[in-house]
Structure 1
Amino acid sequence: MPDSDDFLSPPLAHWPLPRALPGAVLYSSQFASERIAEDAFTRHAVPLPANIARSVAKRRAEYLAGRLCARAAIAQLNGAPAIPSTGEDRAPVWPQGLCGSITHSDGWAAAVVAQSGDWRGLGLDVEHLLDEQRALRLAREILTAGELTRLDPQQAALQVTLTFSIKESLFKALYPLVRQRFYFEHAELLEWSADGMARLRLLTDLSEEWRQGCEVDGQFSLSDDRLLSLVAIPARA
């Protein structure tokens, strides 16, 4: 947990998912939004974007914690403590030769980074596990018709949360490659297993390469009601 002198714990390198990605590193940190100081960005030497400066403390803390995790991961990969900037679309802009993804929720932030020669796209997402009643209420908003037919009411909380999260991860992994926004109804979770593996399929054309019917593997883990999902796009051979 955050120590008495700061709002977050030092970023920690670990791999909380079932299958390691060769060449990729993941750092995470816990933070307490209410304890972020006015000078936190200055003390941590992280540029403060104008839109984040106008945000509430929670948003500033999330942004800073995520960027610090990203900086630690980049430094491990290439020795340069760089920080992803923010593009006009508000997505992270990674240093040349790298790809990555940042996520945060409920006082926990993480970043996964790799060399672009190893992975073309990375999408990481964390969500708080929905309770069963809310999951059933949200199912028709989040799940496609096909996913609804495969919904197990006994596992609705996990299945709906996973579907939401892994589609977010898919978007983060593919958006830098296709530069086109897509939504929950444009992909479906085909299958998932208790060992944390999953498979998705696109239901729309996004580019010449990424067309309707393309399938992508993903993975996930569940810890303390926190579901973490990852989609990784391998580099071209």
Structure 2
Amino acid sequence: MLRMTTLPACCTPFDAHWPLPAPLPGTVFLSTRFDPSLLNPDDFQRSAVPPPASIQRSVAKRQAEFLAGRLCAREALQRLDHLDCIPAIGDDRAPVWPGHISGSITHSNGHAAAIVGHKAQWRGLGMDLENLLTLERAERLAGEILTPDELQRMATVPREQIALLVTLTFSAKESLFKALYPIVLKRFYFEHAELVEWTEAGHIRLRLLTELSAEWGHGKELVGQFAVEGDQLLSLVAVGA
């Protein structure tokens, strides 16, 4: 029997609206808005979400985003597969999903979301939510996030698009890591992938610049998608079975 959980006051009702350009068949996506100032000390217990020690020691913002993300994940698992499960934090800091499930959790400034699907259909799911960078911050961080080739391409972009491009590149690489890490079990970083192409319609193409495995080697390309809503950008990379 599934647990019926009343959401804490710090979280808005679950939103199942698909925000990206192309639906992903066989997945469940849920999001919620959260307000750390409304978090109560007993919200974890009342929501039946055991807080790890690191979360118990953290500030209200971190506690609220963890709780909101895990609540989205549990509800998504219930809707997908009638599972009553809270993904734990693994030794590698990644969520621990049931063995037959792929999933991803993300949160940024009052907004949390989770997506889940069956591994038989989706080997890897990576999703990342980011606040749009200001132009000043984007120009300052570009050298840390973009490869030399990406920096060359950025030089051809109108200046008013630079903040979007740098935010998108950061987010897309985060999503790529989340999608591939459970498959290759090897860490890689910003310099190990590049955003080759993006469209204003929300489609992206990424290329690996490192050898992760026999299957996922230098030059391997993956596609993804993104959407901008207000001052936040959401990206998704999905690896099909």
| Separation in structure 2 between the aligned mates of residue 41 and residue 212 of structure 1, nearest angstrom | 43
TM-score by length of 2: 0.94
Q: Secondary structure at the match of 1:14?
A: coil
Deviation at 1:74, TM superposition (A): 0.5
Per-residue CA distance 1:161-203 (angstroms, 9 max, x = gap): 0000000000000010111111100000000001000000000
Deviation at 1:11, TM superposition (A): 1.8
Q: Does 1:168 align with 2:174?
A: yes
Task: Kindly indicate whether the alpha-carbon contact (under 8 Å) linking 2:8 and 2:47 is maintained by their aligned counterparts in 1.
Answer: no
Structure 2 residue aligned with 1:32: 35
Structure 2 residue aligned with 1:156: 162
Per-residue CA distance 1:94-145 (angstroms, 9 max, x = gap): 0121110000001000000001111000000000011112111111111101
Q: Quick one: which of 38, 47, 52 aligns to 2:50? A: 47
| Separation in structure 2 between the aligned mates of residue 216 and residue 84 of structure 1, nearest angstrom | 26
**Count of matched residue positions in the alignment of Structure 1 and Structure 2:** 233
Structure 1 residue aligned with 2:224: 218
Structure 2 residue aligned with 1:188: 194
Structure 1 residue aligned with 2:122: 119
TM-score by length of 1: 0.96
Q: Does 1:79 align with 2:82?
A: yes
Structure 1 residue aligned with 2:100: 97
Residue type matched to 2:82 in 1?
A: G
Deviation at 1:5, TM superposition (A): 6.3
Q: Does 1:132 align with 2:138?
A: no
Q: Secondary structure at the match of 2:31?
A: strand
Q: Does 1:234 align with 2:240?
A: yes
Name the stretch that deviates more: 114-123 or 77-86. 77-86
| Separation in structure 2 between the aligned mates of residue 23 and residue 33 of structure 1, nearest angstrom | 32
Residue type matched to 1:81 in 2?
A: D
Residue type matched to 1:121 in 2?
A: G
Task: Kindly indicate whether the alpha-carbon contact (under 8 Å) linking 1:11 and 1:68 is maintained by their aligned counterparts in 2.
Answer: no
Q: Does 1:179 align with 2:185?
A: yes
Structure 2 residue aligned with 1:14: 17
Structure 2 residue aligned with 1:63: 66
Per-residue CA distance 1:35-66 (angstroms, 9 max, x = gap): 21111110101111111111111111111100
Task: Kindly indicate whether the alpha-carbon contact (under 8 Å) linking 2:138 and 2:167 is maintained by their aligned counterparts in 1.
Answer: yes
Q: CA RMSD in A?
A: 1.4
TM superposition outliers: structure 1 runs of 4+ over 4 Å: none
Deviation at 1:15, TM superposition (A): 0.6
Deviation at 1:18, TM superposition (A): 0.4
Task: Kindly indicate whether the alpha-carbon contact (under 8 Å) linking 2:8 and 2:43 is maintained by their aligned counterparts in 1.
Answer: no
Residue type matched to 2:38 in 1?
A: R
Residue type matched to 2:181 in 1?
A: Y
Q: Secondary structure at the match of 1:220?
A: strand
